[in-house]
């Protein structure tokens, strides 16, 4: 089943796969297999993290700009994303929005067991990480360190946007090691 966000984007023609082009909000995307992404991030994890974080942050800002420009988009879609950073206290709606946005990356579903807007900290879990699974498929053995660099980068971008402050996401537990889920501390 399509994610709620993708359905809404399709409805307002802001998501398309046509004539060799994948476009989300007017920006072209390239779909890559998880195994290729795993290799790419391993070339230079630190650099990859920084690149992906700034790219995801820009995309989030584009979402908000689009919502301002296109009224139809605003109505069905980003009703309150633009106000998220000022309205964090409202709880469930925010978490749902975060989960929707995260879902379009294909990095699996997000859980947020703890979110503290005053301290600008959060704990985030991913149950069946795409990247950790790719690692286990490739290596047939557990990893010695967490492997989900791209996931951490996207989370860092999302929460930096939300908190209105530059934060990072550190992966403390990873499914590629010995954990049943991946867990990230954002601060």
Binding-site ranges for Zn ion (CB under 5 A): 129, 132, 148, 174, 182
- Give the nearest distance from C-beta 14 to Zn ion in angstroms: 30
Nearer to Zn ion, 153 or 182 (CB): 182
Nearer to Zn ion, 85 or 179 (CB): 179
If phi > 0 it is left, if psi is from -120 to 50 it is alpha, else beta; for residue 20 that is left
Nearer to Zn ion, 41 or 129 (CB): 129
- Give the nearest distance from C-beta 147 to Zn ion in angstroms: 5
CB 173 within 8 A of CB 181: yes
Pick from 11, 45, 2, 19: nearest CA to 150: 45
Alpha-carbon gap, residue 67 to 23, rounded angstroms: 16
Beta-ladder partners of 18? 21
- Give the nearest distance from C-beta 174 to Zn ion in angstroms: 3
Nearer to Zn ion, 2 or 36 (CB): 36
Alpha-carbon gap, residue 126 to 111, rounded angstroms: 6
- Give the nearest distance from C-beta 90 to Zn ion in angstroms: 29
């Amino acid at each position: 089943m399509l994610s709620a966000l993708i359905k809404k984007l399709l409805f307002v023609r802001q998501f398309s796969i046509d004539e060799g082009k994948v476009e989300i909000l007017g920006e072209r995307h390239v779909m890559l297999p998880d195994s290729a992404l795993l290799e790419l991030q391993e070339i230079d994890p630190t650099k990859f993290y920084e690149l992906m974080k700034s790219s995801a942050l820009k995309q989030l800002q584009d979402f908000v700009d689009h919502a301002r420009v296109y009224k139809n988009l605003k109505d069905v879609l980003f009703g309150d994303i633009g106000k998220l950073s000022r309205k964090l206290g409202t709880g469930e709606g925010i978490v749902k929005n975060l989960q929707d946005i995260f879902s379009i990356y294909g990095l699996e579903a997000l859980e947020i067991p703890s979110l503290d807007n005053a301290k600008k900290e959060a704990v985030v879990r991913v149950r069946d990480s795409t990247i950790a699974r790719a690692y286990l498929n490739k290596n047939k053995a557990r990893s010695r360190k967490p492997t989900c660099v791209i996931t951490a980068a996207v989370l860092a971008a999302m929460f930096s946007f939300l908190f209105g402050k530059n934060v990072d996401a550190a992966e403390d537990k990873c499914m590629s090691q010995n954990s049943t889920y991946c867990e990230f501390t954002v601060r």
